[in-house]
């Protein structure tokens, strides 16, 4: 049993779900103690292994069923940006792109359909040499033309009947791609994605991008089988007609229920995939249900635990929790208010310095203390110092700002749609350390989203929103994109209320915050403006080294504008049964691959 | 009869339109839109994939810019043509496809649950009525009242704890074979069983008091024959009104049990739609719920009419309400009218034409 280290106030009510989970866990433990315990590793693993190794050592064994639970996957189409990580876990298994993220070093890629590739001296032209043995699951060879066809598909807006393309035109700069997508050019031959011959595919960039191959390993660059899609239209999704080029084929897919993936016999690298059957269950019923299934041996892997990690870390399977590297950060983002307090950088800095992150680590498990907006496993994060806990400095800053011991400070509100112990802990720290009045405003998700759309909150609503963001790709340049992310009027768009009012006057009252945010350039607080400018400069740089160092400056500027208060770092968390061997979660949105994963029988 | 059915069908369609307007109106008033929630929800789970795209969302098919009335009109046109289009959440499936699959699942739980309810409730109710004021009666009524007051999902949890987590006989959750049906069917049947058993009991008690029972016994019929052939048969007729709504309620899915046990039925689809503000899916499921309930009620009323001539009479006379009533029919229909006016408070269903015997049964409860 892992003991939970909580620093909750005694008066704080126990959460219903926590209570439920605890009760169930206690009852489960009691019944197990009574000798009722079920078999630990479920019964469904097939015993048809052909390794004949007699279960010895670390020699991978073939066979077995991997049973995994995830949030319902609503859409399986690489062209559409509508998926949570869970859809991507499946897609990465079903298809294979030119390159594949390396489970051992996720910042690198390894060959996929492309056996090798050359990058031109100026870093602009990527020539991929496709492996001859790459096959679709119907036996057709995978050709460069298939990739060209798919590039055209993902760049044609609405081709999948959707308006949410997965190709990220802001980040990936293939020549002509953005123009083609925006409808500015009609001729696909002027786009820098070309099949030179059957086995050679070429991508041309507008500017060098050291992260390009990592991007290319993501779900959006996976290829559909052109002939099947052309012949069947939407029918290609039907498991009966399924053709893909990855390690698995889709045998069954039922909305809201689950999917079954079976090995693709034509896959060139099938020897490195050991599982016979991959059963996926969709669960939108919450962590408690999943945890129970996992504990009773119905599941081997679940990632359906993010909304109540606390229940997992306090359960008896806490030590089976696996984490990818940290590229996510939980933080409080300052909301724009008419009250001047948070518009003063001294106040924001005081609040940031008054957070004891080591203590937060105790209540935020499995996340770890996070002092910066560039999490620890992001490449280049060691160059970003972040914020240290310094109570004395915090108190002095608050006094300098004209609020000695918190006198005259408005009530600080923390907006969220769920309760989290670490947020409660920060509120408590501010109350105790700075003498502030802090309240939590926990609202329903819809109300929460509406409150985020308020351009400027009234004078009596001063505070922060709670959120979790990630750095993608996990490099400091990826972090620089986050300086430009916010499309609303809080955080990196924190600006004097008058500036927002001017824009509102200009645009009329009936505009959304994204339209206001788009006009905020030059009107934000100077320290925020600087962080935005530095990020823009970094991303415009063509020289990779200059780009990285500017990105680091941008990250530091963002930390030091204190519009976001970093609290914790995390990655993707999976509960994995010990019988599942060699699974390595990575910090890409696709979370994991089953390559090399085997089941101990 | 035909005129009656036609009139009911017109009313049914009008009710459906009203339901659709209310649902759509409420959905407009609820804070948050599908796209906003998708964005917020994705960061909540540590996922940022939807955050780094162009910011467009699938909901823009219906579009935030499209005026609400037009969205409504578009959906309703689709509904009439039975082509409601894709949902926001599941763009690769249409609303009718999703509902069709989910309804089959819910139905395959509802039928066994209803049967189980009947099989258990009727004997318990009978025994309680026959052993009135004895331990068997008090004990069963006390238990049943307690059970009726507890929510069904609680039973599901207890069953999961005992049979899945504890004994390991049944799976915790999911939907992959007959063994996955046991817990939900039992959990779903518990509450209706309690209700129905109480109902059978009072109905039987009422029938036992009738003079024909005395007559049958006086004629020399054995107690068992009288109970089964006369009392039970007569007291079961009003049950039709209760079983219909019970079945409808089970077939439209019971939200908690389905979500808790991971069953891909209508209830789960409905909560998902409501939670994510998925307009087409929510409209589709709500209207479907309403339709099933209304159709079940209609069927119940028709069946009841077949079983009980007095009701048939009422249906016929009220469908000819413009004509002057024949003198000979007046007392009977008046009697029926006056007895139905009070409605029913013990059924928990939604039948629009409560049976006279039901209110009589209630009367028994009060007198007791």
Would B192 be classed as within a structural domain? yes
How is residue A435 annotated by DSSP? -
Measured between beta carbons, the chain A residues lying within 8 angstroms of B52 are 168, 170-171, 472, 481, 485
pLDDT of A129? 97
Q: How confident is the model at residue A195 (pLDDT cuts 50, 70, 90)?
A: very high
For testing contact with chain B, the best of A255, A471, A512, A568 (most B CBs within 10 A): A255
**Lateral strand order in the sheet of A114-119:** A114-119, A125-130, A200-204, A193-197
How is residue A103 annotated by DSSP? T
B209 to chain A, any CB pair closer than 8 A? The answer is no
Q: How many C-beta atoms surround the C-beta of residue B342 within 10 A?
A: 12
B43 to chain A, any CB pair closer than 8 A? The answer is yes
Would B136 be classed as within a structural domain? yes
3-state secondary structure of A119: strand
Q: How far apart are CA A65 and CA A280, in angstroms?
A: 10
Do A369 and A355 touch, CB atoms closer than 8 A?
no
Mean pLDDT of A112-117: 96
User: Distance from B67 to chain A by nearest Cα, in Å?
Assistant: 14
Confidence check: pLDDT of B365 > 70: no
> What is the number of structural domains in chain B?
1
Would B119 be classed as within a structural domain? yes
Q: Shortest CB distance from A169 goes to which of B54, B161, B162?
A: B54
Q: How confident is the model at residue A211 (pLDDT cuts 50, 70, 90)?
A: confident
Measured between beta carbons, the chain B residues lying within 8 angstroms of A170 are 52, 54
B346 to chain A, any CB pair closer than 8 A? The answer is no
Task: List, for residues B130-157, the tens digit of each pLDDT value.
Answer: 887 777 778 888 888 888 888 777 888 8
The CA-atom distances, in angstroms, between A465 and each of A330, A438, A471, B47 are 11, 13, 19, 17
- A181: nearest CA in chain B? B54
pLDDT of A463? 94
Average pLDDT, chain B: 74
**Residue A452 and residue B264: Cβ atoms within 8 Å?**
no
pLDDT of A106? 85
Q: For the domain that residue B154 is a member of, what is the CATH number?
A: 1.10.3720.10
Would B212 be classed as within a structural domain? yes
pLDDT of A534? 93
Smallest CA-to-CA distance from A537 within A552, A519, A559, A520 is with A552
Q: Shortest CB distance from A168 goes to which of B52, B60, B165?
A: B52
Residues 6+ apart with CB under 8 A from A329: A370, A372, A373, A374, A375, A468, A469, A470, A471, A566, A567, A568, A569, A570
Higher model confidence: residue A10 or residue A247? Answer: A247
Would B103 be classed as within a structural domain? yes
3-state secondary structure of A386: coil
Q: B169-196: b or e for each residue (b if 16 or more CB lie within 10 Å)?
A: ebbbbbbeeeebbbbbbbbbbbbbbbbb
3-state secondary structure of A361: helix
Distance of CA B281 to the CA centre of its chain: 20
Q: How many CB pairs under 8 A join A and B?
A: 202
Average pLDDT, chain A: 85
**Residue A447 and residue B31: Cβ atoms within 8 Å?**
yes
**ipTM, two decimals:** 0.71
**Residue A467 and residue B86: Cβ atoms within 8 Å?**
no
Residues 6+ apart with CB under 8 A from B107: B251
Do B364 and B205 touch, CB atoms closer than 8 A?
yes
Mean pLDDT of A44-64: 54
Higher model confidence: residue B314 or residue A25? Answer: B314
Q: How confident is the model at residue A26 (pLDDT cuts 50, 70, 90)?
A: very low
Cis peptide before A366, with omega less than 30 degrees from 0?
Answer: yes
Q: A353-371: b or e for each residue (b if 16 or more CB lie within 10 Å)?
A: bbbbbebbbbbbbbbbbbb
Measured between beta carbons, the chain A residues lying within 8 angstroms of B284 are none
pLDDT of A83? 59
Q: How confident is the model at residue A71 (pLDDT cuts 50, 70, 90)?
A: confident
Would B89 be classed as within a structural domain? no
Segment 271-310 of chain B within 8 Å of chain A by CB: 272, 275, 277
pLDDT of A82? 65
Distance of CA B16 to the CA centre of its chain: 16
3-state secondary structure of A219: helix
Q: A316-337: b or e for each residue (b if 16 or more CB lie within 10 Å)?
A: ebbebbbbbbbbbbbbbbbbbb
Do A595 and A263 touch, CB atoms closer than 8 A?
no
Task: List, for residues A393-404, the tens digit of each pLDDT value.
Answer: 999 999 999 999
Q: How far apart are CA A548 and CA A379, in angstroms?
A: 10
Measured between beta carbons, the chain B residues lying within 8 angstroms of A75 are 90-92
Would B68 be classed as within a structural domain? no
- Name A441's bridge partners: A415
Smallest CA-to-CA distance from A569 within A273, A332, A345, A361 is with A361
Measured between beta carbons, the chain B residues lying within 8 angstroms of A162 are 58, 61, 91
Higher model confidence: residue B289 or residue B56? Answer: B289
Q: How far apart are CA B131 and CA A385, in angstroms?
A: 81
Q: Shortest CB distance from A164 goes to which of B53, B90, B262?
A: B53
pLDDT of A57? 54
Q: How many C-beta atoms surround the C-beta of residue B255 within 10 A?
A: 18
Higher model confidence: residue A165 or residue B124? Answer: B124
Residue with tokens 């790709």: A473
Note the helical H segments in chain B: 2-29, 34-44, 68-80, 95-130, 135-149, 152-159, 182-209, 211-218, 223-225, 233-236, 239-251, 255-261, 266-276, 279-307, 309-319, 330-340, 356-367
Q: How confident is the model at residue B320 (pLDDT cuts 50, 70, 90)?
A: very low
pLDDT of A112? 95
pLDDT of B192? 87
- A465: nearest CA in chain B? B40
Task: List, for residues B86-137, the tens digit of each pLDDT value.
Answer: 777 777 778 888 888 888 888 888 899 999 998 998 888 888 888 877 777 7
Conformational region of residue A62, where left means phi above 0, alpha means psi within -120 to 50, and beta covers everything else = beta
Do A469 and B43 touch, CB atoms closer than 8 A?
yes
B80 to chain A, any CB pair closer than 8 A? The answer is no
Would B147 be classed as within a structural domain? yes
Domains along chain A with CATH numbers: 3-33+72-232 (3.90.76.10), 328-570 (3.10.105.10)
Q: How confident is the model at residue A261 (pLDDT cuts 50, 70, 90)?
A: very high
Confidence check: pLDDT of B33 > 90: no
Do B92 and A73 touch, CB atoms closer than 8 A?
no
Do A564 and A490 touch, CB atoms closer than 8 A?
no
Q: How far apart are CA B274 and CA B351, in angstroms?
A: 26
Residues 6+ apart with CB under 8 A from B101: A254, A255, B264
Confidence check: pLDDT of A310 > 70: yes
Q: How far apart are CA A485 and CA B42, in angstroms?
A: 15
Do B148 and B202 touch, CB atoms closer than 8 A?
no
Domain that holds residue B190: 95-274
pLDDT of A489? 80
């Amino acid at each position: 049993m892992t003991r939970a280290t909580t620093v909750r106030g005694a008066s704080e009510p126990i959460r219903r779900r926590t209570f439920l989970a605890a009760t169930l866990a206690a009852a489960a433990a009691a019944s197990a103690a009574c000798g009722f315990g079920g078999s630990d590793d479920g019964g469904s693993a097939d015993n048809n292994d052909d390794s004949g190794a007699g279960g010895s050592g670390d020699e991978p064994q073939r066979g077995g069923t991997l049973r995994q639970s995830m949030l319902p996957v609503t859409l399986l189409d690489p062209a559409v940006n509508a998926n949570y990580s869970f859809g991507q876990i499946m897609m990465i298994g079903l298809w294979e792109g030119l390159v594949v993220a390396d489970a051992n070093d996720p910042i690198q890629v390894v060959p996929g359909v492309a056996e090798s590739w050359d990058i031109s001296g100026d870093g602009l032209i990527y020539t991929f040499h496709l492996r001859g043995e790459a096959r679709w699951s119907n036996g057709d060879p995978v050709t460069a033309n298939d990739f060209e066809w798919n590039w055209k598909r993902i760049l044609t807006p609405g081709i999948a009947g959707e308006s949410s393309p997965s190709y990220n035109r802001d980040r990936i700069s293939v020549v002509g791609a953005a123009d083609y997508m925006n409808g500015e050019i009609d001729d696909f031959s002027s786009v820098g994605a070309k099949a030179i011959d059957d086995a050679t595919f070429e991508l041309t960039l507008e500017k060098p991008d050291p992260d390009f191959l990592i991007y290319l390993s993501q779900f959006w660059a996976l290829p559909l089988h052109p002939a099947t899609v052309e012949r069947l239209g939407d029918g290609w999704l039907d498991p009966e007609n399924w053709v893909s080029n990855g390690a698995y084929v889709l045998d069954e897919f039922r909305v809201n229920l689950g999917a079954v993936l079976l090995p693709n016999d034509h896959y060139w690298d099938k020897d490195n995939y050991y599982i016979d059957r991959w059963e996926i269950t969709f669960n939108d019923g919450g962590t408690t249900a999943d945890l129970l299934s996992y504990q009773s041996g119905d599941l081997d892997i679940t990632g359906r635990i993010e909304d109540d990690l606390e229940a997992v870390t306090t359960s008896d399977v806490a030590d089976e929790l696996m984490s990818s590297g940290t590229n996510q950060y939980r933080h409080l983002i300052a909301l724009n208010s008419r009250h001047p307090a948070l518009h003063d950088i001294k106040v924001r800095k005081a609040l940031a310095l008054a957070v004891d992150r080591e203590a937060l680590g105790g209540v935020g498990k499995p996340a770890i203390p996070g002092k910066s907006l560039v999490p620890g496993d992001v490449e280049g994060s060691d160059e970003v110092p972040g914020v240290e806990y310094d109570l004395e400095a915090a108190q002095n800053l608050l006094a300098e700002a004209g609020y000695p011991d918190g006198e005259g400070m408005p009530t600080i509100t923390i907006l969220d749609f769920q309760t989290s112990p670490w947020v409660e802990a920060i509120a408590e720290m501010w109350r105790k350390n700075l003498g502030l009045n802090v309240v939590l405003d926990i609202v329903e998700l819809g109300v929460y989203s509406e409150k985020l759309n308020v351009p400027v909150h009234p004078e009596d609503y001063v505070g922060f929103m709670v959120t979790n963001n990630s750095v993608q790709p996990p490099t400091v340049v990826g972090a620089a994109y986050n300086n430009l992310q916010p499309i609303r009027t809080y955080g990196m768009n924190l600006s004097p209320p008058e500036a927002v009012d001017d824009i509102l006057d200009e645009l009329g009252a009936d505009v959304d915050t994204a339209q206001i945010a788009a006009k905020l350039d030059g009107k934000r607080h100077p320290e925020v403006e600087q962080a935005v400018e530095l990020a823009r400069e970094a991303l415009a740089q063509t020289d990779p080294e200059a780009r990285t160092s500017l990105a680091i400056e941008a990250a530091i500027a963002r930390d030091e504008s204190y519009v976001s208060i970093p609290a914790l770092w995390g990655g993707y968390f999976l509960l994995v049964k010990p019988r599942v061997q060699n699974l390595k979660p990575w910090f890409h949105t696709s979370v994991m691959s089953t390559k090399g994963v085997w089941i101990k029988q | 009869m035909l005129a009656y059915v036609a009139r009911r069908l017109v009313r049914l369609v009008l009710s459906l339109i009203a339901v659709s307007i209310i649902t759509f109106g409420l959905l407009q008033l609820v804070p948050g839109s599908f796209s906003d929630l998708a964005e917020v929800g994705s960061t909540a789970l540590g996922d940022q994939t939807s955050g780094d795209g162009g910011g467009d969302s699938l909901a823009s098919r219906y579009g935030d810019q499209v005026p609400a009335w037009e969205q409504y009109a578009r959906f309703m046109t689709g509904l009439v043509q039975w082509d409601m289009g894709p949902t926001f959440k599941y763009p690769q499936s249409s609303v009718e496809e999703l509902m069709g699959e989910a309804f089959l699942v819910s139905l395959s739980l509802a039928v066994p649950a209803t049967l189980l309810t009947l099989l258990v409730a009727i004997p318990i109710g009978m025994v309680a009525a026959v052993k009135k004021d004895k331990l068997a009666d008090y004990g069963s009524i006390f238990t049943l009242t307690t059970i009726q007051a507890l929510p069904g999902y609680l039973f599901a949890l207890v069953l999961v704890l005992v049979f899945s987590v504890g004994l390991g006989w049944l799976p915790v959750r999911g939907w992959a074979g007959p063994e996955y049906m046991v817990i939900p069917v039992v959990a779903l049947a518990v509450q209706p069983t309690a209700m129905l058993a109480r109902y059978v009991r009072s109905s039987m008690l009422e029938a036992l008091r009738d003079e024909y029972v005395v007559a049958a016994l006086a004629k020399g019929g054995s107690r068992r024959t009288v109970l089964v052939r006369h009392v039970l048969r007569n007291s079961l007729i009003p049950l039709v009104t209760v079983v219909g709504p019970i079945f409808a309620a089970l077939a439209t899915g019971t939200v908690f049990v389905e979500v808790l046990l991971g069953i891909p039925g209508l209830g789960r689809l409905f909560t998902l739609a409501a939670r994510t503000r998925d307009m087409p899916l929510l409209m589709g499921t709500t209207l479907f719920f309403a339709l099933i309930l209304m159709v079940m009620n209609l069927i119940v009323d028709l069946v009841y009419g077949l079983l009980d001539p007095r009701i048939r009479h009422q249906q016929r006379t009220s469908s000819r309400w413009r004509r002057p009533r024949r003198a000979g029919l007046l007392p009977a229909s008046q009697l029926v009218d006056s007895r139905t006016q009070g409605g029913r408070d013990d059924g928990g269903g939604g039948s629009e034409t409560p049976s006279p015997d039901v209110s009589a049964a209630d009367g028994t409860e009060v007198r007791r």
